[in-house]
Chain A
Amino acid sequence: MNASPYTRRHALQSLACGFGSLAFAGIAQRAAAAANPLTARLPHHEPRAKSVIFLFMQGGVSHVDSFDYKPLLAEKDGQLLNFNDARKIANSGKREESTQRVMKSLWPYAQHGQSGRWGSELFPEMARHADDLTFIHSMHTEGIAHGPATLFLHCGSTQFIRPSMGSWVSYGLGTANDNLPSFVSLSPSAGNGGPRNYGNAFLPPVFQGTGIGKAGTPIIDATIRNLTNAKLSPAEQRRNFELFQELNAEQLKKSPGDAELEAVLASYELAWRMQNNAPDVLDLNKETEATKKLYGIGESKTDNFGRQCLMARRLVESGVRYIQVTYGDNTANPAWDQHSNMPKHKDHALAVDKPVAGLLEDLKARGLLEDTIVWWGGEFGRTPYAEKNGTGRDHNAGGFTVWLAGGGFKPGTSYGATDDWGHLAVENKVHMHDLHATILHQLGLDHEKLTYRFDGRDYRLTDIHGHVVKEVLT
């Protein structure tokens, strides 16, 4: 590589920089106050975790069939009883109960681990890790349909254009790596908000999530956009890069020391480094067979999600702050959305159970779980009664379960509860805003202080809401 003066200088500088490290507002630059927005920033308080892996179960996994044990459902199975159905109420605008047929869990429950957490046979592998998990059974959120609820899950708003959580985290903490993005979304869904779910909205573009692959397409060949060049040989690519930088250096002779223009050169250097390093991080062939097996890679049912999970671990290791792994698709009724045919849940469970358990085990074995938050859950849960007395369950934003592991969450515990049916959260309720606030807290960020001024208003991920749920933290 041509060792021009800026190359050396920036090589040093960019040790603290990340993907797109040099996004500068022109004005700030000219004021010579240019600070790299992705430079690692001091948190508000001592963090308990460095990164987040969010395993998104798109479509709404059923809590009453998985981790929220409600014996009453088996007892009253098939009975027609009155419930406050959220969709009916929203549609009619009238607060009336409606008759619904109670449907028991299709999978029997048992207690697991020393902590005795309840889990059904839907997720036997995850259940083995019960002692590592913190269950929040009293989740509730906004949005009765996927579109609104999915946006709320990611951006804290059902309707307005808001930055996604990973963008907020990048904005708050900067990056912790040298040649990768700080926020990655693996196999994001095009549906139900699509890019908005990893978008920066009004935050500077540098905080946008980087998608790798897309839902519905195997992750095996997926990579970061434009990271590779199909037409040129490596030697030609190197020669091209050198030519770019030589010509740029020549152009910069007219305005030496111009930081704004040097930033363009530095962005090429960074791109070049990424091009040479990132593929290694994404290359699962570097892993042992044993590790791959742990994630279910090579088995037809689990191969794809196993790869996603293993990639997530490699990204965490490389200092990526926020990684979302989506199990879903691009349809209007994604993956777990069993409005009919509840047994279909098992197909999805088979695809994710082993990879998720493998991820937990692997993170633990490598000592990464301590400062990585693993968050498993969907945009909402499902009703304890059958939808229209059919064979599936409708959405349920009023009560559902998520679990968290690592990152200072109390292992082997449960918090909060839904009513006896598993319908509405009633005890120690945790709103999605609260969960956001709590995860930010563990990363060292105060959700009330993590603000960005846009068009005259200070915006937050949690709007004007949210409490840190201290009870689930060690």
Chain B
Amino acid sequence: MAEAHPPENPVDAADRMGEQLWREALLAVRVLAVAGPSLGGVRVQARAGPVRDAFLQCLETAGPATARIVRASAMAPLSRLTGGVDVSQSVAAARLVSETGLLALADGGALLLSMAERLEPANAAVIGAAMDNGTCPDPANPGQGVETRFVVIALDEAADDGEALPAALADRLGLTICHDRIGWHHVAQAPAPAPLPSLEQCRATHVSGRLHGFLSAVALTCAGGSLRRHAHLVLVARILAAMSDRNEASEADAVMAARLCFGILPAATDEEPAHQQQAQDDGTPSDPPPGRNETNSDSKGDRQDAEFRHADEPPGDRHTESETARLMGLLDLASAEVLRGGRRSAGKAGAMARNARRGRQYGTSHGPPYPGARPDIVATLNAAAPWQIIRLRERAAAGLPGPASGRLQVRKSDFRFKRLRHAAPSTAIFVVDASGSTAHERLGEAKGAVEGLLARCYVRRDEVALVAFRGTGAQTALAPTRSLLAAKRKLAALAGGGPTPLVAGLRHGLELALSVRRAGNSPVVVLLTDGSGNMALDGTPDRARAARELEQIAGRFREQTFRKLCIDVSRRPRGVVNDLSRAMGADYHFMRQAEAGRMSELVDSHMQEGRP
């Protein structure tokens, strides 16, 4: 944003931006106070710090929906959320002691999840189900639920692509607030206490078909078309309208709703900053383009008759594409959090190796997950505890002497084993053009890069594979391996020359990538080519057909969530490889000669990022 105003001092611009963002954060607080649980909650993207604390304090004072905050650690076990029998307490007290879960405790208030990016998908699903149903499981009375309605405040400190709020929760949180650009001095302004409209008033606000079209487009762009997010957008737009005492949502309301829901910054378009700047220069409370007027909400007015009017909308009230495009232009969509990381990391929830021999514990099992697994002592004792009285009696009944006093009786069936998992290793799959069109020395460079990578992978326990294509087909020159020696031997034997069956190579690479992923690793496909494929899949030199097939296979790559990297090894960069990489959804790089070192660095960084 700062760069967008050349005449203005960038520092001032950034300062103004921060001020504006803080005001918007306060607006979001008020929106949440009005909506309560029907908006799900808010995702706060911020590190721990005074700004975040101030924000949370504002939440606490904003309204009854967020007045009482129940804190939960994202790492808390599931039983803390749902509650359950407290075995140690029960044994000590010789009566059943059950602990109430945090979900039930949060009823009527807010559930604060700290470090939400580390939340287990399982826990996220449980929280999501409780939000949907308004009930959570009751440990004292299984089969029946306890009613609980709460707002979720997720403190998201995700640092990179690998970490993200579980999608099950992210989809249910209506608002997204990012504190990145807000400075401590901006926070000094306290929110002006103003009466808030009731949710009924907001629901009675009209949203035109045109704005629906725009909000639908926002939901499609930022959340894959999720209807839940669409509904959030509409509700926020309504609340904003009702706050400024209008009975129909304006364009500005819709744009602001999009920004609050997805944490989108305003776009720095040519005409728009001028408008904004003007407002700011006037010294008026510089509302962003969406003009809102929070203070005058004293009239009740004729809101009653503003019922739903979608059914009998005049035909002129339909949305048009250009209208939507114009409104979309007011948003800096690239700043939307969802676009930044959400989709990419979505593919990685499964990329954790389960039943691993090392890593973090995620559960216990009755049988050893692998031979020789170590038992989980605490879980085993917990499992044995309830049986003690029964076993004592059984021993007595069988006429056996009782055990030495204070000694626990642990049987085979009590044993519980730790189930561990760790981040799955990455596998770099090089798909190398070994045809005659790629100069011989380039193939040599590719070999060098692979070897360079292997040395690094060995340390990190990552793997490397190589698919070479030349002549009429492709072959796996090197199956996924960590072995330096085997790799060097195979690479040395790799010959070049012949036509370029690019499609066959890509197909082989994709197959390998999918099988790598099935095995629980995260594949990273690295394509090295000059882009001049001239062989069709069936081995005939049919360029037109090869081009068609290439388009298809590129589309298949695009659908996959793993990382793709396209390295142009032609002597001079041409558009073909760039086009291909775009079609594949891959990152494009042009590789100058004799840069094997840089290539392995590049791939290495991609593998690191690809880690869950």
Are A and B bound to each other?
Answer: no
Q: Which residues from chain A sit less than 8 Å from chain B, CB to CB?
A: none
Q: Which residues from chain B sit less than 8 Å from chain A, CB to CB?
A: none
